[in-house]
Amino acid sequence: MITCFIRYTIDENKVADFEQYARVWMKLIEKYGGTHHGYFRPHDSPPAASFSFSDIGEEGPAGVAVALFSFPTVAAYEKYRRDVPTDPECIAETLHYRETRCFTKYERTFLRPVARD
């Protein structure tokens, strides 16, 4: 399995546009055989509490969102990447992004599960 983690810097004035973008991409990933684990945006923080590693931890920025999705194999992911550029929904959502610029940056990291003992 291969999992993709994407961290977006979002335009906080365009949250509705970003959420539309997210909903479409969740469907597209699943249409092409992946499992989308969701998009996540910051929640109002709970009341302050001490936590482990308090000497190195800090609150993260508000203007971020993350997404996680997986494909069963690298080959399945590569097939998805080859096929989506000609998909009408993908083309439309790419245009939506270009028109709204609902995020200003993204970082992508490919992950693998840590084996359990």
pLDDT of amino acid 48: 60
The Cα-based distances of 79 to 14, 18, 23, 90 in angstroms read: 31, 25, 21, 15
**pLDDT of 87-100, one tens digit each?**
999 999 999 999 99
Tokens 């990291």 label which residue?
Answer: 109
Identify the structural domains of the chain with CATH numbers, from first to last: 2-42+62-110 (3.30.70.100)
User: What tokens were used for 49?
Assistant: 């509490």
Task: Please tell me the distance from the alpha carbon of residue 99 to that of residue 21, in angstroms, as a whole number.
Answer: 12
0.75 exceeded by pTM: yes
Dihedrals φ, ψ of 69, to 5°? -145, 155
pLDDT tens digits for 38-95?
999 988 766 565 666 667 777 778 899 999 999 999 999 999 999 999 999 999 999 9
Q: In the prediction, which pLDDT does 109 show?
A: 97
